[in-house]
A = this chain, B = another copy of it.
Amino acid sequence: MEVLSADELERIHLASLEILEEIGIAFLLPEALQILRDAGADVDDATQMVRMDRGLVEESLAHAPSQYVLHARNPDHDLTFGANHINFGTVGSAPNVSDLERGRRPGNFADCVDLVKLAQCLNAVHFCGGYPVEPVDLPPETRHLDALHAFATLTDKAFHAYSLGRTRILDGIEIARITRGISKEQLLEQPSLFTIVNSSSPLRIDGPMLEGVIEMARHNQIVVITPFTLSGAMAPATIAGALALQNAEALAGIAFAQIVNPGAPCMYGGFTSNVDMKSGAPAFGTPEYTRAALAGGQLARRYGLPYRSSNANAANVVDAQAAYESEMSLWGAVMGHANLVLHGAGWMEGGLTASFEKMVLDAELLQMMAEFLNPIEVNEDSLALDAIREVGPGGHFFGAKHTLARYETAFYAPLLSDWSNFESWQESGARTATERAHTLYKAMLAEYQQPVLEAARREELEAFVSKRKEEGGAIAT
């Protein structure tokens, strides 16, 4: 679905090129400035502003692949990014965590572990997108080692590492390699890790993030450049202006990654939303957000790049608002042909809280969306003229042969939705969807089974993490 005409798309593209050529983007890392200067960009060392002409941008982008695979340690969970493939991930990076029983509390490792386990249990969740909640009870120097160890051992789905400086991202790359049991050469052929790089909008990319881009690109791992262009705050108070800025920043980051390693797998991330003009509070799943998500998809397709979107909302409690804002976000992602949907399950409060109940609720939304995308089967059998003839006027299809033959699989079976009548629902406790999600997540965690990691890989992983912890972790950065 398209919300921009071809002309409008081109105007946004051209505005972005004008930003890149005339205003420039600040690359806050001397090493990056040198790389860009060597490639022919106009670099101002004093301001760290880099101006790239359209020739350099377009030539760099031309190397970026339009489709690639992110390998998981269980090949059943390998994910293809590109074309019409859509993949949903967990919430990432929330500072707080909540559930109905224990309320809202600061992020911690025990909850982080439980959320990763839940991600492993939920079929609708295809990958782990960053720490579902920040384990702030772990020391910052070694936090990434514990968390990556958790991803590697508690789930056999693909995962993410943060571009918070060179040391951490190299640890992430090595842990992904060990977990998959492949050589360094194989890793260069098989992307096995992804990183989200947010530009510091407007017009900046931070140093630690740029170190991440450099190392991930050099190792041929997946770099997702996502400007966080909040219209009215870090971006102009018009969707077109915010998109022009988003596009300039995304192209700058992707062009940089391509300059570092032409052909490295990159993704175009869109995360344009708007603030509440009265309070300055960020809002998500708004009509503006949905239109921007669709427009972002059109821009990504214009460059032949896979597209990343999100399942966002600004609600403080898992209620109707959380659900309808998430639906608005998800429809934007689905109709925008997003290939990677970050924060697909569990995001609340504009990203400030990861919720156990929301994770289950979102899994239902994601499964419904996946089922919606299945085509309607139209053939002689499904058209059912014989059944219509057999049942006749005023009859009932429930006992028809045609119905009995598809009794098990005819329709989507929900995870969370309760379709019982009011009286039955009342007798069984009159519980809201959120209350039911609470029971469900606990039952899932109780039944969680850790996916076996081959002994050799496990030993290598433990040895690596121990060694790196002894070395002090990321103290060098």
Contacts and interface: CB of A to CB of B under 8 A. Distances in A.
Interface string A272-301: 001111011111001110111001000000
Contact of A23 (B1, B3, B388): B388
A331 to B, nearest CB: 5
Contacts of A244: 383-385, 388
A248 to B, nearest CB: 8
Contacts of A245: 388
B232 A398 contact: yes
Determine chain A's interface SS by DSSP, over half rule: mixed
A203 B393 contact: yes
Contacts of A322: 320
Nearest to A420: B281
Interface stretch (A116-124, A147-155, A167-175, A372-380): A372-380
A183 interface: no
Given A202-B392, A378-B8, A237 B319 contact: no
A396 interface: yes
Contact of A410 (B49, B277, B416): B277
Interface stretch (A59-67, A131-139, A430-438): A430-438
A376 B239 contact: yes
Interface stretch (A35-43, A253-261, A310-318): A310-318
The interface size bin for chain A is 35 or more
A274 B411 contact: yes
B419 A276 contact: yes
A415 to B, nearest CB: 11
A235 to B, nearest CB: 6
Contact of A376 (B240, B377, B379): B240
Interface string A346-389: 00010011000000010011001101101111110111110111
Given A49-B393, A282-B419, A319-B320, 10 more contacts: A47-B393, A203-B394, A240-B378, A244-B383, A281-B421, A288-B371, A317-B425, A319-B432, A324-B365, A335-B335
